[in-house]
Structure 1
Amino acid sequence: MNTPQFDLSAMLTQQTAVQQIPCEMLHPYHNHKFELYTGERLEDMVASIKENGVLSPIIVQPDGDGYEILIGHNRWNASKLAGLPSVPAIIKAGLTEDEAEMYVIESNVMQRGFENLRISEQAAAVALRHNEMFSQGKRNDILRELELLENPNAEVEESTLTPVGSKLDSGKTVGAEYGVSKGSVIRLIRINKLIDRLKALVDSGDIAIRTGVELSFLSEDTQAIVAECAEEDKIEFKIAKMLRASAESDGYIDRDTVHSIIYGDDSEQTPKPKSVKISNYTYTKYFAEGTKPKEITETIEKALEFYFKNNS
């Protein structure tokens, strides 16, 4: 059975007519995982758009009364800041959810470079690439279109794209595409299974990648409980392993169990005794040289008992 392929010529003619769409009719992709430009980079884009307009059209798909942005979130945002009433756009109708996701992720990797993405963004790209739901031919067609949209005069070399029929679902092959090891691919796929609150903590460095991998084996409900704790106290790798082991053993761990593992069970902990030093002056005043420690302790206990008994 042959896998249906995109008709690239049709995509570049029938569905690529550029239209001006009002900014207020556009909204971000519902599953957008990528950080928008800020600071100097955003300011430069706004300045460029004010002077030259939007040179490359964004790509959108119909969504209710408006359009959902697939490619060009930063151009749309900068256009609004620049005061433009509308932006040039190419409307893609009839895309499947998988195809729309491919447009969003592949365009971000192409434009920004894999190494410049946040950990959670890299995880999203690798997980999508690793998933067998995409045929290689479909991905090739999308990559060709993106290349042509970025540079209409460029000739996309077939040799740079993997032949149709090649199976690219192994960690080794995907890692080679993005310049990371097979182990990194596996870890990133696990990071993609974290809830957004935990992904944000991985991106900020508050949760280490290896710790995030362990937490990814927890249910989303349990991850939400962990996230509440992690936003206040750092979750170490050892704690994450204990949480995973408990979840795999019991099938489910409740809030009390999570708190017990993270903070410790007070009912099972014995407070560590504090030591008190006696000054040399006090020692020589009340104890003869050579007095054994046991005798000193007994004398102090008797003195304290007498003191509190008569002063209570």
Structure 2
Amino acid sequence: MKKADEMCSLQGNNPGVDVIQVKLEDLHAFKNHPFKVKKDQELFELRQSIESEGILVPLLVRKSRDGVGYEIVSGHRRKEAALWGGLDCVPVIVKDLSDDQAVIAMVDSNLHREKILPSEKAYAYKMRLEAMKHQGREITLDQIGPKSEENGLRIYPLKVEQGAFGEMVIAPTEKKISTRSNEMLARMVGESVTQIKRYIRLTYLIPKLLEMVDREELSMGSAVDISFLKEDEQYELFAVMDLEQWVPTVSQANRIKRMSMQEKLDMDQIYKVFEETQNSRREMIKIPVERIQKFFPNSYTPEKQIQTIEKLLSEWSKKRSRSKDMSL
């Protein structure tokens, strides 16, 4: 397959880096890889790019621990697109990485993607945080950071000083600041520590509920509270949700969580929360603001609008009653 060989041949294009050709059948997915590879529009476009330009960025791999083939650290989507495009081999860079180094490299290479599902973030953050804690230091492929202090990372702040000739010199201070692993991860990914903890809580959800979060059918707030339920309680809750086509609100999910913590949660209690929702729906009619706002002056407050609607309905009801009386 000469065309395929030409596409994946990058020998000599990267000085100082050994790029070898590996058959697709010898490449294995990273263990517990949290990022889903789907045959969607993005993968189709990647396949087209590979067919016309070849694989421009080699996959990053390490030798499999069982000695058979290679484990992909970065490049699962490139492998799938190449397979889809009919290639037999792909260019790879082989690195000798520990489990923690491989996890960090795998996660970091995927977090830059534009679209990442909540479930992908949840497991990626969890895996990376655990790897950072194991090492107790910041790890990159090119540099090993300082040892940890109290299971965190040491940061040496910089200060600006004036040199002998009036120039400004940047020098490290002697003071050391200890930053815990979760704080460092938060800075690296642009999330708050609290938000990272919320994402990691999603890993405690049963698969069906986690899928609902990915489909945006279950809110993050409700999902986090539900994640504190025991596994069997989550299955019971999902059974009610699926049967009744019901999704708990944040306040309802919090109540269910508290009942679980008090050992008072069972199917009857779940149905009680559901029935309260049904009763409140029967008692309330919601009208979107944009549908009625155009009929009122800008000076009318929401309360004034409600009063006006009640008055008009009252007059309409009286008029309807008089019409019935006249017809008798």
**TM-score, normalised with respect to structure 1:** 0.62
Counterpart for residue 118 of structure 1 = 117
Aligned residue runs from structure 1 range 263-282, under 5 A:
263=275, 279-280=321-322
1:148 corresponding residue in structure 2: none
Following the alignment from structure 1 to structure 2, what is the Cα–Cα distance between the partners of residues 38 and 168? 40
Matched, 1:197 2:208: yes
Cα distance, 1:170 vs structure 2 = 5.6
1:261 correspondence with 2:264: no
Judge conservation of contact 2:60–2:95 (CA < 8 Å) in 1: no
- 2:127 paired residue number: 128
Residues 247, 78 of structure 1: CA spacing in aligned structure 2 closer, same or farther, 3 A cutoff? same
Q: 1:72 aligns with which of 75, 100, 105?
A: 75
The letter for the 2-side match of 1:74 is R
Shift in Å, 1:209 = 1.3
CA-atom RMSD, angstroms?
3.7
Aligned-residue identity in percent: 25
Deviation (angstroms), 1:219? 1.9
Q: Which residue number in structure 1 is paired with residue 246 of structure 2?
A: 233
Distance 2:145 2:96 in 1: 26
Give 3-state SS (helix, strand or coil) of 1:144's partner: coil
Name structure 1 gaps, 5 residues minimum: 1-15, 146-157, 287-312
**1:41 lines up with 2:52 in the alignment:** no
Cα deviation 1:43-75 (Å, max 9, x = unaligned) = 332123223333313415426665543321101
Q: Partners of 1:57 and 1:281 in 2: how far apart?
A: 80
What is the match of residue 181 of structure 1? 192
Matched, 1:242 2:255: yes
Alignment match, 2:228: 217
CA distance in 2, matches of 1:265, 1:48: 51
Alpha-carbon distance between aligned partners in 2 of 1:118 and 1:179, rounded to the nearest angstrom: 16
After superposition, the Cα gap between the structure-2 partners of 1:238 and 1:78, relative to the gap in structure 1 and judged at 3 Å, is same
| Offset from partner CA, 1:4-33 (integer Å, 9 cap, x none) | xxxxxxxxxxxx965433323444334222
223 and 101 in structure 1: CA distance in 2 versus 1, 3 angstrom threshold: farther
1:121 offset after TM fit, Å? Answer: 2.5
CA pair 22-63 structure 1, distance change in 2 beyond 3 A: farther
Q: For 1:124-162, what per-residue CA distance to the aligned partner results, in whole angstroms no more than 9, with x for missing partners?
A: 33333443633244x42xx235xxxxxxxxxxxx7xx86
TM-score (norm 2): 0.60
Alignment of 1:17-32 (within 5 A): 18-32=19-33
Letter of the 1:134 partner, please give it. Answer: H
Q: How does 1:60-99 map to 2 (within 5 A)?
A: 60-62=62-64, 67-90=70-93, 95-96=98-99, 98-99=100-101
Measured in 1, the distance between the counterparts of 2:240 and 2:79 equals 36
1:85 shift after superposition: 1.3
Contact 1:62–1:92 under 8 Å retained in 2 = no
Report if the CA contact (8 A) 1:58-1:88 is conserved.
no
